[in-house]
Amino acid sequence: MSLIVKICGLSTRETLDVALDAGADMVGFVFFSSSPRHLGLETARELGKLVERRASKVALTVDADDATLAGIVEALQPDILQLHGRESVARLRDIKQKFALPVMKAIAVATLADLASLPGYAGTADRILFDARAPREATRPGGLGAVFDWHVLENLDLEIPFMVSGGLHAGNVGEAVRVTRAGGVDVSSGVESAPGQKDPEMIRAFIRAARATELTSPLPVHGERSDRSCDPGEGEAPQSRLSTNSQKQPLTPTLSPQERGEGAKTVRRAQPKN
């Protein structure tokens, strides 16, 4: 059993094939017009057929109404609905009842106070996704390359699976898993050469780095695990990770104060262009 890896915002056959061949457990498709990764229904239909049960298909929406969700479900035939907006607990319950699909609720995180809504959502959603809170001026809630302080989740104990996203890339995914003990990781901008343009080599590198964390990070207390092999892939040796005696160190030496950010400033990765 291994860490669940989700590649989100896929929009072309080439990059979808790369993600599937590299061993992604979930492939995400975005249905939000403000996003550079937004898909039309016909493109989603074509890409969805290519998955062929090789991974779980995730439909990401933001405060979508029933008619919009119905169109997405008909076209993509998703395995999971990812609700990335301000959907209430009651709205989650309603969507699950109407569409009979598992629901993953994204919760925006900047400080410990942002977890106040967690008990309600955790009692209704099938999974929780913790993402960095977007700045006020942002036109979309995620995919911004922002990182939140993973130590907010350090002592979290949920009875349902949870994943971490927000500014992840091959260089920091291991530390994110080590600190949070999340059962899964979700990446979008961290495998792009430009907004909305997935890079095949960055996808492969991220999945290899995520798989390598399994060799040194403890399993989560709760949470669903992947059926994928722990093999880092393509004949490469596992990447080195931080040892367990480093757990009391700061978040990660690769995150500068500017990257962690304050107020409405967008937190950005220092490595890939976004």
Whole-angstrom Cα distance, residue 203 to residue 233?
Answer: 12
Q: Which sign, positive or negative, has the C-alpha torsion 195, 196, 198, 202?
A: positive
169 vs 147, which has greater pLDDT?
169
57 vs 267, which has greater pLDDT?
57
Tell whether 72 is covered by a domain: yes
CATH number at residue 237: 3.20.20.70
Tell whether 206 is covered by a domain: yes
Whole-angstrom Cα distance, residue 60 to residue 83?
Answer: 6
User: Collapsing DSSP states into helix, strand and coil, what is residue 72?
Assistant: helix
Contacts for 202 with CB less than 8 Å, ≥ 6 apart: 169, 170, 190, 191, 192, 193, 272
Give, in order, the Cα–Cα distances in Å from 2 to each of 170, 205, 218, 225: 17, 17, 11, 6
pLDDT at 28 over 80: yes
Domain of 172 in residue numbering reads as: 4-260
Provide mean pLDDT across the span 244-273: 36
pLDDT on residue 2: 80
Tell whether 31 is covered by a domain: yes
Tell whether 273 is covered by a domain: no
pLDDT at 87 over 70: yes
Tell whether 268 is covered by a domain: no
3-state SS track over 26-70: EEEEEECCCCCCECCHHHHHHHHHHHCCCCEEEEEECCCCHHHHH
Tell whether 272 is covered by a domain: no
Read off the tokens for 215: 């060799």
Q: How many domains does the chain have?
A: 1
Tell whether 266 is covered by a domain: no
pLDDT on residue 252: 35
pLDDT on residue 135: 58
pLDDT tens digit string along 188-242? Answer: 999 999 999 999 999 999 999 999 987 666 555 454 555 554 443 333 333 322 2
pLDDT at 58 over 60: yes
In percent, the amount of the chain with pLDDT more than 90 equals: 68
> Residue 146: which pLDDT band, with cuts at 50, 70 and 90?
confident
> What is the pTM (predicted TM-score) of this model?
0.79
Provide mean pLDDT across the span 257-266: 35
Tell whether 69 is covered by a domain: yes
pLDDT on residue 246: 33
183 vs 232, which has greater pLDDT?
183
Provide mean pLDDT across the span 108-121: 94
pLDDT on residue 147: 87
pLDDT on residue 199: 98
pLDDT on residue 217: 60
